[in-house]
């Protein structure tokens, strides 16, 4: 693993202190309402790549002052996301390579290779949890009639939403069989009242799968909801991990030390010992309630759907907890910023399955994963189609991607001008479109003809070779390198518009 250049933050408070020391956090003393006002401030700051915001005097939806401050925009920049992983932003590609190596380790060849892999072995050992006993004694414990979700300064992000929503929860579940690993997912939670809530999860997510197992046995499912944890644990919860790997264990790998876990007080689950707030309870196998409509990452309001009701049995919190929150809307938002970082980390893992892929980009303005642009080192006819079908079928992370654009490795996948040029000059609709219908689609995508079912479109915008074309293929314009070098030498003394310097040597 890349050497951490930052300390192993054990708690959200440790990370906040680091951000404040680095001038990456602003304390807002003005009273700000969680109803719409916080969202509008957050939107403006995030769009400008601004600092994290700590609202010291938040006003709750009922008009009362919150007893706890609200932190937003924590992961609003690539730099802070990388810091949460313990590295600088330029080390993210190396971290991605190390994660790919851990996912499919290879036998070392010789002593030198053994020594090179020692850091990976040490990193793997850091995934073993450490039980922290007695931690609950240092926390405020609310149970029975003292349980009250309305104490939380949960946001109402957009006009027309039905009520406060917990937007950055880490939802911890596990299957009914003994020894099954915990799953940690980020699912929005609608507060219904003092001790009841709705957890909204899509059918393919780990929490939904666990709930089906408990429901099939006619049993309530224990659940723990963490609001505010160390940054490695929060980021691990959004990583595309195998179902057999617990996010809590993976957080230890990211942090470089064994995860500290404490037992819940009312459910048989473990949570990060240094969590700010923990909500414990049981999800009903039968009782449901309508959830929504809420603003979504698509930039639209979602549908109203019914999801299981959770009965809250206990709440625990630090003596002076910080409430972590965010909004979800049309990008840019925090999920899209995190998606940019995951894009970098995910590429080496994808290349393990498809070595011909040279680059991949999920444009954040396309809701992070609905469009993917993939560059390949093309060597044989039909290769682009093979990669398309493989990405859609083999990798769960791309199963909801609606549009795949395949280009050659000479195209910059992050440059829409370059991609548009490739699509318009290297593809023909009568030959280069791959259309598939009746495939799984995000339930939140109301553009699909049926709930959860829709189509896929692949565009082969690569150069056509061999039997793919009967025509002589075009030859790309390129300036003589000697001329480019000559103009580079005299450029500064020409006195032309300096803004044109970025176009040196362009065709």
Of 195, 296, 359, 442, catalytic: 296
Residues 229 and 167 in one domain: yes
Sign of the C-alpha dihedral computed for residues 387, 392, 394 and 400 taken in this order:
positive
Q: Kindly state whether residues 263 and 407 are assigned to the same domain.
A: no
Q: How far is CA 92 from CA 50, 52, 246, 255, 359, in A?
A: 21, 21, 22, 14, 15
CA gap 319, 209 in Å, rounded:
34
User: If pLDDT is split at 50, 70 and 90, which confidence band does 108 have?
Assistant: very low
Could you tell me whether strands 403-408 and 260-263 are parallel, antiparallel, or unpaired per DSSP bridges? unpaired
**pLDDT-derived band at 107, boundaries 50, 70, 90:** very low
Q: Is residue 437 part of a domain?
A: yes
Does residue 133 sit in the same domain as residue 23? Answer: yes
Please state the pTM of the whole predicted model. 0.90
Place of tokens 């310097």: 501
Q: Among 216-230, 251-265, 370-384, whose mean pLDDT is lowest?
A: 251-265
Instruction: Give the residues across from 312 on adjacent strands.
Output: 281
Domain check: are 405 and 490 in the same one?
no
Backbone angles phi, psi at 192, to 5 degrees: -95, -35
Task: State residue 467's pLDDT score.
Answer: 95
Range of the domain at 492: 479-507
Element (H, E) at 384: helix 383-394
Same domain, 369 and 314: no
For residue 115, tell me if it sits in a domain. Answer: yes
- Claim to verify: residue 493 and residue 446 sit in the same structural domain: no
CATH number of the domain within which 402 lies: 3.40.1670.10
In the chain, how many domains are there?
3
Q: With 0-12 CB in 10 A as exposed, 13-18 as middle and 19+ as buried, what is 490?
A: exposed
DSSP string of 251-313, one letter each residue? HHHHHTS--EEEE-SSSS-EEETT-SEEEEEEEEEEEEEEE---B-TTSSBPPPEEEEEEEEE
**What token pair was written down for 432?**
């280069």
Across 254-259, average pLDDT? 86
Are residues 457 and 506 located together in one domain of the fold?
no
CA distance 241 to 248: 11
pLDDT recorded at residue 415: 96
* 227/427 Cα distance (integer angstroms): 48
Q: Report the SS3 class of residue 407.
A: strand
CATH at residue 249: 2.30.110.10
DSSP string, 4-66: PSS----SHHHHHHHHHHTT-EEEE-S-EETBTHHHHHHHHHHHTT--EEEETTEE-TTSPBP
**Residue-level pLDDT at 460:** 98
Residue 3 lies in a domain: no
pLDDT at 497 over 80: no
Tens of pLDDT, residues 315-370? 999 999 999 999 999 999 999 999 999 999 999 989 998 999 999 999 999 887 89
Q: At 92, list the tokens.
A: 């993210």
Task: Indicate whether 369 and 449 sit together in one domain.
Answer: yes
In a 3-state reduction of DSSP, which class is residue 453? strand
Which residues, at least 6 apart from 353, have a Cβ–Cβ distance to it below 8 Å?
390, 394, 395
Question: Which of 324, 343, 363 is the C-terminal boundary of a domain?
Answer: 324
Same domain, 139 and 286: yes
In the annotation, is 296 catalytic? yes
Are both 444 and 365 inside the same structural domain? yes
Contact 473, 464 (CB under 8 A): yes
pLDDT at residue 117 greater than cutoff 70: no
pLDDT digits (tens, 9 = 90+) for 5-55: 898 899 999 999 999 999 999 999 999 999 999 999 999 999 999 999 999
Q: Which of 306, 324, 342 is the last residue of a domain?
A: 324
User: Would the pLDDT of 130 be above 90?
Assistant: no
Percent of the chain, pLDDT > 90? 74
Residues 71 and 199 both lie in one domain = yes
């Amino acid at each position: 693993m890349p050497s951490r250049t930052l300390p192993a933050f054990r708690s959200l408070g440790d990370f906040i202190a680091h951000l404040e020391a680095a001038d990456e956090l602003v304390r807002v003393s003005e009273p700000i309402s969680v109803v719409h006002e916080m969202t509008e401030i957050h939107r403006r700051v995030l769009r400008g790549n601004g600092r994290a915001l700590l609202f010291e005097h938040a006003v709750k939806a009922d008009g009362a002052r919150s007893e706890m401050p609200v932190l937003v925009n924590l992961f609003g920049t690539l730099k802070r996301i990388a810091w949460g992983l313990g590295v600088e932003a330029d080390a993210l590609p190396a971290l991605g390579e190390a994660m790919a190596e851990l996912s499919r380790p290879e036998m070392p060849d010789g002593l030198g290779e053994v020594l090179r892999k020692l850091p990976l072995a040490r990193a793997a050992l850091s995934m073993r949890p450490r039980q922290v006993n007695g931690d609950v004694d240092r926390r405020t414990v609310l149970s029975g009639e003292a349980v009250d979700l309305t104490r939380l300064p949960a946001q109402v992000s957009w006009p027309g939403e039905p009520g406060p929503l917990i937007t950055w929860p880490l939802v911890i579940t596990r299957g009914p069989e003994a020894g099954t690993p915990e799953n940690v997912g980020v699912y929005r939670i609608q507060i219904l009242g003092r001790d009841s809530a709705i957890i909204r999860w899509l059918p393919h997510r780990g929490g939904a799968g666990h709930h089906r197992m408990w429901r099939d046995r006619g049993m309530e499912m224990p659940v723990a909801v963490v609001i505010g944890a160390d940054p490695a644990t929060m980021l691990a919860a959004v990583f595309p991990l195998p179902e057999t790997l617990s996010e809590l264990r993976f957080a230890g790998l990211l942090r470089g030390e064994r995860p500290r876990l404490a037992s819940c007080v009312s459910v048989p689950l473990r949570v990060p010992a240094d969590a700010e707030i923990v909500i414990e309870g049981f999800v009903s196998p039968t009782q449901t309630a309508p959830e929504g409509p809420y603003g979504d990452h698509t930039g639209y309001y979602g549908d109203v759907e019914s999801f299981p009701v959770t009965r809250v049995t206990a709440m625990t919190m630090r003596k002076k907890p910080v409430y972590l929150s965010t909004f979800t809307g049309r990008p840019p938002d925090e999920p899209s910023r995190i998606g940019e970082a995951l894009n970098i980390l995910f590429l080496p893992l994808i290349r393990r399955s498809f070595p011909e892929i040279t680059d991949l980009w999920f444009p954040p303005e396309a809701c992070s994963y609905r469009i993917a642009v993939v560059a390949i080192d093309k060597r044989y006819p039909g290769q682009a189609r093979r990669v398309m079908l493989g990405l859609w079928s083999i990798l769960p992370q791309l199963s909801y991607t609606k549009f795949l654009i395949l280009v050659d490795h000479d195209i910059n996948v992050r440059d829409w001008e370059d991609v548009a040029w490739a699509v318009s000059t290297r593809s023909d609709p009568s030959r280069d479109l791959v259309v598939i219908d009746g495939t799984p689609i995000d339930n939140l995508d109301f553009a699909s003809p049926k709930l959860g079912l829709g189509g896929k479109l692949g565009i082969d915008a690569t150069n056509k070779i061999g039997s793919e074309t009967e025509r002589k293929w075009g030859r790309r314009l390129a300036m003589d390198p000697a001329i480019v070098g000559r103009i580079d030498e005299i450029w500064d003394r020409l006195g032309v518009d300096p803004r044109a310097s970025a176009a040196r040597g362009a065709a």
